[in-house]
Amino acid sequence: MWDKLNAHHESVAARRFETLFDGGRAEDFSVRVGDMLFDYSKTNIDAEGRALLIELLERADVAGRREAMFSGAPINETEGRAVLHTALRNINGEPVTVDGQDVMPGVRETLERMEAFAADVREGRFTGQGGRITDVVNIGIGGSDLGPAMATLALAPYHDGPRCHFVSNVDPADIAGVLRGCDPATTLVIVASKTFTTIETMTNARTAKAWMSETVSEPAAQFAALSTAADKTADFGIAPERVFGFEDWVGGRYSMWGPIGLSLMIAIGPRAFRQFLAGGAEMDRHFRAADWSENMPALLALVGIWHNQVCGHATRAVLPYDNRLSRLPAYLQQLEMESNGKRVSMDGAELSVQSGPIVWGEPGTNGQHAFYQLIHQGTRVVPCEFLVAARGAEDDLHHQHQLLVANCLAQSEALMKGRTLDEARAKVADKFSGDELERQASHRVFPGNRPSTTLAYPELDPATLGRIIALYEHRVFVEGAVLGINSYDQWGVELGKELATGLQPVVEGRESTDGKDGSTAGLVNFLRQSGM
Ligand SMILES: O=P(O)(O)OC[C@H]1O[C@H](O)[C@H](O)[C@@H](O)[C@@H]1O
């Protein structure tokens, strides 16, 4: 199948895809879910290419795998686990069984407990030892941080609860900076860790407890925990009524829909949180029911596969023209790269094509004044993924929002059309002539023919954010299924963790650097001599 796709790519690689626009292309190469539009017409994918890409999905039995996921089969084969983050947002849906047991009653009960607690915090029934809660500090890392931090920022206009802060890094600068602005007597600390063993999180949690115990008599009373490890939360001293558990069928980077979303729920309220869940569930229904040719997550995945595995573009840029999505690229880095950054397929054999792409990005228009130079004129092609809303939350500044939208659309147009040498000459012909005109003009040429997609939606409300995040989750699923890899484990993070544990006594000077490589030993010695 890859051969067929590669042959097709070779046959179309030289053409300019702007010539494909024949009046119907924009409609034919875009898809809607409710009031959200995904436009992939500014790519070199034509009807034949799309048909071949869809054949890829059929050959990999992505439909069968999709049903296996939604129905609770253990598709995370290396860990023997189901993958059921979709159950967390299936609040009004069908039963979902794992090992013959319907998990939905438990999901609903936990959601209701979270809602009761969030309401108590927001409405002042749960207080700190110095009064009403003014600040919530979520301590977590990776999937226990990026999702709620990204979403709390994204939904800032809906934020009517206490201030929310996120501490993730073991660098003491992170927690010190946050705690400096909080009053221990009115702060709620949420320790978010699926395993409750992650060294960064547990270290920061102990630091927060010590900080709180300097002021309040019962620090643990102002702690809540989000974890699958009830025994460990109890050992930390957190009472069971403030522990919100979940099961191992929720992967860390897919977990913001359940207890890991508690800080978001406290920020925006249980009602808006349910709208976020409903948006995710809407995308799930679409993903399960729509034909591949009309299926937004599948098409987003196929565009990704076309650009990465077929065209050979190693990276993709995520460019939200929506400043409140400024953490989306970081969130997607974990979602996509921890899921599909794998070199072997499910059966352990090496992949015959590239693994998932390198994902990066920043909000527009900021990026335009920084790295877009390379995107437009560098030697490498970087497929770009734009996101843009019709309206912002600032009604009185709508004209400014329209300027933002104009910039977004201008970028995808510029990437596609570029600027020819003749056009570049015309731009500077009044200033230069002869050889100097040629030299100056060549710097002003834009090759164009650079692909991009645009996801457009009316406004960034909770339901829309839910649809966007579920869209990307399913994209990752489809890309992983086509590559034949397990998107739900993350063995690649283990080695560094093990070595860090071994290096700690060396760094502290309790053990020698004997046995370490010359570079590592040299760096330890330098840092120790430099005051570490
Ligand atoms: O939630 P935790 O168990 O603390 O895990 C936090 C994070 O750390 C790990 O190293 C994994 O790479 C991530 O997938 C995970 O989200």
What structural domains and CATH numbers belong to the chain?
Answer: 1-71+275-417+451-489 (3.40.50.10490), 85-268 (3.40.50.10490), 493-530 (1.10.1390.10)
- Residue whose CA lies nearest to ligand 1 atom number 13: 142
Q: Residue whose CA is closest, atom 9 of ligand 1?
A: 142
* Ligand 1 centroid distance, CA of 328 (Å): 18
Atom of ligand 1 nearest to the CA of 253: 16
141 CA distance to ligand 1 middle (Å)? 6
> Which of helix, strand or coil describes residue 486?
coil
CA atoms within 13 A on the CB side of 480: 25
Rounded to the nearest whole angstrom, what is the distance from the C-alpha of residue 142 to the centroid of ligand 1? 5
Which residues on adjacent β-strands are paired with residue 187?
135
pLDDT 10s digits, 200-220: 999 999 999 999 999 999 999
Q: Which residue of the set 282, 336, 338, 362 is catalytic?
A: 338
Peptide bond into 365 cis (omega under 30): yes
Cβ–Cβ under 8 Å, residues 150 and 328: yes
Residue 40 CA to ligand 1 center (angstroms) comes to 33
Active site annotation includes 232: no
pLDDT at 30: 98
Distances (CA, A) of 119 to 89, 266, 269, 314: 20, 7, 7, 46
Residue 1 pLDDT: 87
Distance 144 CA to ligand 1 centre (A): 7
Report the separation in Å between the CA atom of 54 and the middle of ligand 1, taken as the mean of its atom positions: 33
> Taking the chain, what is the end-to-end CA distance rounded to the nearest angstrom?
55
Which residue, judged by its Cα, is nearest atom 4 of ligand 1? 193
How far is ligand 1, taken at its centre, from the CA of residue 143, in Å? 6
- Which position among 77, 94, 497, 508 bears the catalytic label? 497
Ligand 1 pocket: which of 194, 247, 497 to mutate (most atoms <8 Å of CB)? Answer: 194
CB 148 within 8 A of CB 299: no
Q: How far apart are CA 424 and CA 446, in angstroms?
A: 9
Active-site residue (options: 369, 399, 431, 443): 369
Residue written as token pair 């539009």: 37
Please tell me the pTM assigned to this model.
0.97
Alpha helices (H) along 77-198: 104-123, 146-154, 172-180
Q: How far apart are CA 470 and CA 481, in angstroms?
A: 16
User: Is 313 considered catalytic here?
Assistant: no
Burial environment of residue 432 by CB neighbours within 10 A (0 to 12, 13 to 18, 19 or more): middle
Place of tokens 């010539």: 19
Q: What are the tokens at 516?
A: 């370490």
Task: State ipTM.
Answer: 0.98
Residue ranges for the chain with pLDDT beneath 50? none
CA of 397 to the centre of ligand 1 (A): 40
Q: What is the pLDDT of residue 483?
A: 97
Among 195, 232, 335, say which to mutate for ligand 1: greatest number of ligand atoms within 8 Å of CB.
195
Atom of ligand 1 nearest to the CA of 143: 16
The pLDDT, as a whole number, for residue 22 is 84
Pocket test for ligand 1, best of 166, 338, 487, 493 (most atoms within 8 A of CB): 493
Query: Which residue among 79, 138, 144 is best mutated to probe the pocket of ligand 1, counting the most ligand atoms within 8 A of its Cβ?
Result: 144
Beta strand 36-39 with 452-457 is antiparallel
Q: How far is CA 383 from CA 218, 359, 360, 520, in A?
A: 53, 10, 11, 37
Helix (H, G, I), strand (E, B) or coil at 317: strand
Q: Which of 45, 32, 23, 41 is nearest to 456 (CA)?
A: 32
Name which of 335, 223, 278 is nearest 111 in CA terms: 278
Decide if 58 is catalytic. no
Q: Whose CA is nearest to atom 12 of ligand 1?
A: 493
Q: How far, in Å, CA of 337 to CA of 63, rounded? A: 23
Q: Which atom of ligand 1 is nearest to the CA of 260?
A: 1
Asked if residues 320 and 384 have their Cβ atoms less than 8 Å apart, the reply is no
Which ligand 1 atom is the nearest neighbour of the CA of 497? 10
Smallest CA separation from ligand 1 atom 16, residue: 143
Distance (Å) from CA 201 to ligand 1 centroid: 10
Rg (Cα) of the chain, in Å, rounded? 25
Q: Which residue minimizes the CA distance to atom 10 of ligand 1?
A: 493
Rounded to an integer, what is the distance from CA 489 to the centroid of its chain?
16
Q: Which residues form the pocket of ligand 1, taking CB atoms under 6 Å from any ligand atom?
A: 141-144, 193-195, 198, 201, 252-253, 338, 490, 493
- Which of 198, 247, 255, 489 gets mutated to test ligand 1 (max ligand atoms within 8 A of its CB)? 198
Sequence-distant (6+) residues with CB within 8 A of 212 are 184, 187, 189, 219, 222
CA 144 to ligand 1: nearest atom: 1
Residue 132 CA to ligand 1 centre (angstroms): 31
| Contact (Cβ atoms closer than 8 angstroms) between residue 65 and residue 479 | no
473: three-class secondary structure by DSSP: helix
Sequence-distant (≥ 6) Cβ neighbours of residue 101 within 8 angstroms: none
